[in-house]
Amino acid sequence: MSWIKVIIRTLRVFILFTGCTLLFYYGIMWVNQEYEDYHRYDEPKGTAVKVNLAVSEKASWFDRLLLFYLDGE
């Protein structure tokens, strides 16, 4: 009788694992589908202003490296 309980518990764990795996897989597929057509590099609409830091042509390599470390990029 105890081997039947072991088989039932093992089957229950297997079904739970399979269900969670399928739920996770289809969740990832849903998120992928949502962001597949998202165009994040399109030009902004409205009155957006482009912001960038102009680095002078005369800046030395050390100044550029220091700016790189200070910006954290």
In tens, the pLDDT along 13-44 reads: 999 999 999 999 999 999 999 888 777 777 77
Would you say 64 and 53 are in contact if contact means Cβ atoms under 8 Å apart?
no
Look at residues 50, 53, 57 and name the one whose alpha carbon lies nearest to residue 68.
Answer: 53
Give the pLDDT band (50/70/90) at residue 52. Answer: low
pTM of the full structure: 0.51
Name 71's Cβ contacts closer than 8 Å, sequence gap at least 6: 53
Would you say 55 and 67 are in contact if contact means Cβ atoms under 8 Å apart?
yes
